[in-house]
Copies of this chain bind each other. A is one copy, B any other.
Amino acid sequence: MNLDQLIEATLFAAARPMTLRKLAELAKAEAEDVKKAVADLAERLDEGSGLMLQNYGNEVELVTKPEAAEIVKTVVKDDEQGELTRASLEALTILAYRGPMTRPELEQVRGVQSSLILRNLMIRGLVEQKEDERLGQPTYAITFDFLKHLGLKSVTDLPDYQALRGHTAIVDMLNQLNEPEKEKQEDNKSDLNV
């Protein structure tokens, strides 16, 4: 059995999102090979299946295609999310395009304190706190449940994704680029001190 088929069976059995690392561990395969197999699987499903691969961050999940929603709804219990309030929608949108982000970062964009709205969205399972921290603050991101509700394969399929993700991505990149630079300088400094 090919690696992409093995991964398909694994995701089917798990019935929840899994990290690429976990998949590599289970399949006893190299990360690079898993990455390629996941891409192959996504393509095969796109072409002829009623299922598709959803991805966010470094996780993937096997789900039904949105075109089948009408019939699938009749056999599963709906999660009854109901409508979103303006504030929820606003916070979710910002997190979808710019997340994962810290609470102060979200508040900077919304211009208003957002701890209660974040809590509400987490209780509804539309937002989750991630393991990673930034500047000592926890980061928040949208969940697979949110993606599923929109029937999207990835946040990159959101309208105008590149434009709205925009400069934060670049800023992040610059920060990452700057960090080793800073360390180098620090090293140099200590050299001089010796």
Contact = CB atoms under 8 A, between A and B. Distances in A.
Interface in A93-120: 107-108, 111-113, 115-116, 119
A158 interface: no
Contacts of A88: none
Given A5-B50, A5-B68, A13 B76 contact: yes
Give the interface SS of chain A, mostly helix, strand, loop or mixed. Answer: helix
B123 A65 contact: no
Interface of A: 1, 4-10, 12-16, 18, 26-27, 44, 48-51, 62, 64-65, 67-68, 71-72, 74-76, 107-108, 111-113, 115-116, 119, 122-125, 128-129, 145
A111 B119 contact: yes
A1 B68 contact: yes
Given A5-B50, A9-B65, A116 B72 contact: no
A96 B122 CA distance: 22
16 contacts: A1-B50, A4-B50, A6-B50, A6-B68, A8-B49, A8-B50, A10-B68, A12-B50, A13-B75, A13-B76, A26-B75, A44-B48, A111-B122, A112-B129, A113-B123, A113-B124
Contacts of A122: 111-113
Contacts of A14: 75-76
Contacts of A18: 75
A7 B68 CA distance: 9
A4 to B, nearest CB: 8
A106 to B, nearest CB: 10
Given A1-B65, A68-B1, A122-B112, A9 B128 contact: no
A13 B72 contact: yes
A111 B115 CA distance: 11
